[in-house]
Structure 1
Amino acid sequence: MDLTVTGLDPGVFDVELDRSADPTPAGGVTVTVTATYRGTEPAEARLRVSASLPAEDDPYWMIPGLFYGENRPEGNDRLYPRYAREADTERFVSPAWSFRADRAATPAVFAWTGEGGLALAVDEDGSLGLTGIGFAWEAGTATLHAEFPYREAPVSYYGDKVPLPPMAQTHLWQPGERHTVEVCVYPLPADRHAYAPVLRERHARTATEPLRPWVGVSEAADLAAHGLHRWHYRPDPAVLLETAAFDREFNGNVRGLGDREAMHVAWVSGIPYAHALLAHGRRRALPEEVAAGAAVIDHICANLAPSGTFWGQWSGSRGWVGSWTPVPGGLHARTLAEATLFLHRAVVAEQTLGVSHDSWERAVRSNLDVAVKSQNADGNLGSMLHAADGQVLSREGAAGLTWVAALAEASDLDPAYLPAAISGGEHYAHFVDEEFLHGAPEDVDLAPTSEDGYAAILAYMALWRVTGEARWRDLARRAADWMLTFRYTYDVRFDPHTLLGAYGFRSRGADQASPSNQHLHAYGLICLPEMAELAEATGDPYYLERTRENLACFRQFIAREDGDFNAYKGMASERYYQTECFQAKGMLLTLSHAWSVGVLLLGCEAALNLPGADW
């Protein structure tokens, strides 16, 4: 393969390329580029290394955590970078994109055509500053590139619908100055899943520093349970408020608006985290936590929608309402299904202790009966249902995939749920095979997200657990590999004057939320037991290693006492800003979220019940 070096005037720069003689474990070729400036006056320059392959049709692009295929389906109203041959930069559409490397979970760019593929990987930064990566299609050629230092083009994305002028770093070369950069180039087969060994190799290269969680698993569970109960639980009615402001004085000055007077039934609040609080309370013999967790679940189960499903959200001002959708009466399938899945788990956990909750079991059955009725002949379970009658309002995307997990696990209540789960698993498998899962969260429409990966792992591991069929385990493995494209394989370098820099935050193990929401989050902990189970089922410790990193990462920044990083004991942020998006790199969102604390508690409780794993 040919590499091209541009951006340096050959009249004043000497450039040398050195290719490694032996391939890397994933079949890559390491190329070292050394540039020496021979000019007599300081000069600004940017080094660009590129590689190309023929592409008559549109390539499938991937930048881990940042760009997948076209990246944004054409009908998606949420604006963020999208690939198309015809540019419309006012709507973030272009055939060529360049990004700063810290936007990527692994600084690598991939392209596949009908004949094969190519990948180019670099380190996040070096002596020339923050690295850049990108791609372009032009006149039948797909080109991948790395830039030293980075440049963004044609515009920069800051998390909203308004394009910003391109961000860039520059380097002022001094006479006689020399720099060396390293690029690894990987020829790939046509199978898009060929990214998996490359990302394993890059992880092994960068995961050399020890993990540094602030607290152990048991202490993290205690802190998270305290935070969920102290800052998010409200007894009348029994809810887990979605947000609680770090700054309590500020919250008082803005009439409590930092504390969101609302509770989703799952996803950003609700049953999964009430179940975790209840489990922690049972394990630690804390009756107030047991009562709170049970009360929240009781409240949700006592207020089903007319359709027979849960509502989407409770609001202090409006009561029970639908999902975050402009469609009147719309309920998001993933939210309903996740609530049902964790409600069934709560039923089973309580029954194991000799405690029955008839209303909880009735709510599980009611929701699943609606899901089965919503399923079409293709196995599609629907992405949005109407609160009044359960009518399917949309079947786009893979939001219905979580129903598969709920139906499979609840087949102990009714064996008739299992055929529906299997049919759904078959239908949604094509999203996994095509490496483009999308539609899980309510707030980013049909964007590909890390949450879609979690949903797929929950679903296919549930099917494997119930049926023992290798097909489902293999789909779970493929889904896990895709999910791990969102997981940071390296520790982002933060300015020591920022909050994340001052506290030494290590990003390895955190997940990029999505190409639309470019910040780090902890939601991957929701499938911690499935990832550990997958490692055992496949005999592949890599999945457990990456899961250990995930749990260790978010045992950072759980407030150990009042005043810790300006939060209160047990609070945990939703967002860690590892790049320039929404806020400045190195900042932390100063809101504790019920789900952020809740998934940490879920993950810790699961880890404490998994014997033999070194967490």
Structure 2
Amino acid sequence: MAASWWDEARLTVSGLDPTLFEVELCRGAAGTEAGGVRVTVGITHRGVVPVEARLRVSATLADADDPYWLIPGLFYGENRPAGNERLYPRFARAADEPADPGRFVSPAWSFRADRAATPVVFAWGASAGLALAVDERSTLGLTGLGFSHDGDTARLHADFPAVEAPVSYVGGPQPAVALAETHRWQPGERHEVELCLYQLPADRHSYPPVLRERHARYAAEPPRPWVDVAQAAELAAYGLHRWHFRPEPAVLLETAAFDREFNDNVRGQGDREAMHVAWISGIPYAYALLAHGRRRGDGEYVAAGTAVIDHVCANLAPAGTFWGQWTAAHGWGQSWTPVDGGLHARTLGEATLFLHRADRAERAAGVEHPDWLAATRSNLDVAVRGQRADGNFGGLLHAEDGRVLSWLGSAGLTWVAALAEAHDLDPGYLPAARRGGEYYARFVREEFLHGAPEDVDLAPTSEDGYAAIMAYLALWRATGEEHWLALARHAADWMLTFRYSYNVHFAEHTLLGAYGFRSRGADQASPSNQHLHAYGLICLPEMVELAAATGDRYYLDRTRENLACFRQFIARADGDFNAYRGMASERYYQTACFQAKGMLLTLSHAWSVGVLLLGCEAALSIPQADWDPPSRRRRGPGR
């Protein structure tokens, strides 16, 4: 490595009284494969009485008047668009917007490291980039990381132990008291902390080599699945049918409470009497149940999956699309949006995509569903009619006439996948998919896909990454054109920034700690929803396809970890982790957000069970990927 950039980064240590502490900063003798420099900081307390203290190690990036930040899974550029109604941490330059910690707006942020999918903070300026990587913990406790901006200078920092500033975000619209940990140093006590500093080009997409290297650092601790893929499929199918399926009308209820006695005592309020047409329930998971039933020769599962899809297809909105959601109280209606009559494009597109897949699979089995084919065409025709000349499909459609109500975000990417896969129904769908693919490519290249889930407005989310991978692989599959494959790879790299590369430390007295849950392979939902979830399994076949098409096994390895991770905590029998057989939680709390670290949301979700079933069924159709190598199989107790 050239000495100049190291000197310009001006690595400094602050926060300690120089009259009490001796600090030694040692640069590693050799660089890393990704171009990093390993640094060890030795600290010795030379005082005569105990003292509470925290140290900060900082690095500087010049020529960064308008910096782009990345903390994987946690912070992306400005992180929250100014108009986003959902409040969570946002970066704003002091020259552009006054700091407002009460509304999570600041030019400087510090976070606890377990909020990051990989504990590394990146910054890019006009001519170069810089990254500072740490481990989640050191001998001083939980590590912290963050950044600040002043004029044309960006600073990255790591804290030992962690501090959060200017406030702590714990999932709600009101800031929490900022975390401010310290270590109590005894006279003569010495510690060493390690970090790695990376020089990067100005290209924002220069992060993959760093994240690959950090992922390899923790390779000795893979997930420990409790069951093999076939067993997981059996459990998920049972759970989806037993706890979520209701025959009259045929729906997959969105939630089922672990605690059935509590649920009975509150008159069933733990079970959400509702079904989205996709996303958190609906067609994708009915298709998974149907596919499992066909493979296993289980007529009950086939009938249930078929009935749910029939119910959705028989009740289209006046515009010709699906509705957003069915509820027991009000029947069919709009999506989760305050806009009157609004239907979310991602939900509609995903429902259509999986409906076409279900119909195609059924036709291959010799079964015709004319209503399914008609509903597929009807939805796609509305999407094409509403597409703007530049390719934008819009993010919100009106249920009455299909007109686009919002052009913001990249939620329309899901239509690209649905149209590209359905070009066998109408050749005209492929040009529309191409135009959409070209329009949304700017979001991929700018490293800021956002708007896919209905519940976090225009936040960047892991779900945006899944949608992009599915869209660009579908375009590549339909056309054979290499630039679509390149975009799929770029989108996969971005999606994998949300995927945990290491195992978060859980206290033994917590549920996740007691069961030995390993977080490697799980995805952060979003910077707004900081919990682990399994939704990445929805694009498992695309990730395997991407690995094969590029010859890059890394994508396969990370996908195998994803499936292995969520074969933990699928209830093997009634009473397993206080759930019932076949239940699976939506949320695993790996940091202080919504609930305490180490807790598990005690609700089974149709989508949580459903994506596991989808992933397992896809994996069973790709046995060459070796999903259950002997060294990673686990049975019996979670520990």
Q: Which of 591, 595, 619 is matched with 1:579 structurally?
A: 591
**Paired residue type of 2:510:** T
Matched residue, 1:405: 417
Give the 5 Å matches for 1:58-137.
58-84=66-92, 85=94, 86-137=98-149
The alignment yields a C-alpha RMSD, in angstroms, of 0.6
CA shift at 1:210, angstroms?
Answer: 3.7
**Paired residue type of 2:185:** W
Give the 5 Å matches for 1:345-356.
345-356=357-368
CA shift at 1:448, angstroms?
Answer: 0.2
For residue 624 of structure 2, give the secondary structure of its aligned residue in structure 1: coil
**Paired residue type of 1:115:** S
Q: Which of 311, 321, 326 is matched with 1:299 structurally?
A: 311
Deviations 1:146-165 (A, max 9, x none): 00000000000010100011
Matched residue, 1:238: 250
State the percentage of identical aligned residues. Answer: 76
Matched residue, 2:22: 14
The whole-number CA distance in structure 2 between the counterparts of 1:477 and 1:215 is 30
CA shift at 1:211, angstroms?
Answer: 2.8
For residue 207 of structure 1, give the secondary structure of its aligned residue in structure 2: coil
Residues 99 and 105, structure 2, Cα contact 8 Å, conserved in 1: yes
Give the 5 Å matches for 1:365-376.
365-376=377-388
The whole-number CA distance in structure 2 between the counterparts of 1:471 and 1:79 is 36
Matched residue, 1:546: 558
The whole-number CA distance in structure 1 between the counterparts of 2:219 and 2:132 is 19
Give the 5 Å matches for 1:255-404.
255-404=267-416
The whole-number CA distance in structure 2 between the counterparts of 1:322 and 1:168 is 43
Give the 5 Å matches for 1:495-506.
495-506=507-518
Matched residue, 1:567: 579
For residue 418 of structure 2, give the secondary structure of its aligned residue in structure 1: helix
Structure 1 regions of 5+ residues with no counterpart?
Answer: none
Matched residue, 2:631: none
Deviations 1:459-482 (A, max 9, x none): 000001110000000000000000
The whole-number CA distance in structure 2 between the counterparts of 1:10 and 1:28 is 28
Q: Which of 15, 35, 42 is matched with 2:43 structurally?
A: 35
Deviations 1:123-160 (A, max 9, x none): 00010000000000013211000000000000000101
Deviations 1:189-224 (A, max 9, x none): 011011110000000001212431000000000000
CA shift at 1:56, angstroms?
Answer: 4.8
For residue 590 of structure 2, give the secondary structure of its aligned residue in structure 1: coil
Deviations 1:13-68 (A, max 9, x none): 11111111211010000000000110000001101100001145220001000000
Q: Which of 434, 439, 442 is matched with 1:430 structurally?
A: 442
For residue 447 of structure 2, give the secondary structure of its aligned residue in structure 1: coil
Deviations 1:537-573 (A, max 9, x none): 0000000000000000000000000000000000000
The whole-number CA distance in structure 2 between the counterparts of 1:571 and 1:278 is 18
Deviations 1:107-127 (A, max 9, x none): 000000111110000000010
**Paired residue type of 2:432:** A
- TM-score, normalization: structure 1? 1.00
Pair 1:46-2:54 in alignment = yes
Which segment is superposed worse, 47-56 or 542-551? 47-56
Matched residue, 2:504: 492
The whole-number CA distance in structure 1 between the counterparts of 2:336 and 2:242 is 26
**Paired residue type of 1:261:** E
**Paired residue type of 1:166:** A
Residues 222 and 518, structure 2, Cα contact 8 Å, conserved in 1: no
Q: Which of 118, 143, 159 is matched with 1:147 structurally?
A: 159
The whole-number CA distance in structure 1 between the counterparts of 2:495 and 2:289 is 26
The whole-number CA distance in structure 2 between the counterparts of 1:494 and 1:270 is 34
Pair 1:420-2:436 in alignment = no
**Paired residue type of 1:195:** Y
For residue 345 of structure 1, give the secondary structure of its aligned residue in structure 2: helix
The whole-number CA distance in structure 2 between the counterparts of 1:286 and 1:532 is 28
Matched residue, 2:630: none
For residue 409 of structure 1, give the secondary structure of its aligned residue in structure 2: helix
Residues 223 and 519, structure 2, Cα contact 8 Å, conserved in 1: no
Q: Which of 463, 466, 470 is matched with 1:451 structurally?
A: 463
Deviations 1:369-410 (A, max 9, x none): 000001011000111000000010011000100000000000
**Paired residue type of 1:310:** F
For residue 616 of structure 2, give the secondary structure of its aligned residue in structure 1: helix
Runs (4+) of structure 1 exceeding 6 A deviation are none
Matched residue, 2:636: none
For residue 119 of structure 1, give the secondary structure of its aligned residue in structure 2: strand
Pair 1:156-2:168 in alignment = yes
| Aligned residue pairs, count | 615
CA shift at 1:105, angstroms?
Answer: 0.1
For residue 555 of structure 2, give the secondary structure of its aligned residue in structure 1: helix
- TM-score, normalization: structure 2? 0.96
Pair 1:180-2:192 in alignment = yes
The whole-number CA distance in structure 1 between the counterparts of 2:222 and 2:472 is 32
The whole-number CA distance in structure 2 between the counterparts of 1:116 and 1:452 is 27
Q: Which of 237, 240, 247 is matched with 1:228 structurally?
A: 240
The whole-number CA distance in structure 1 between the counterparts of 2:475 and 2:261 is 48
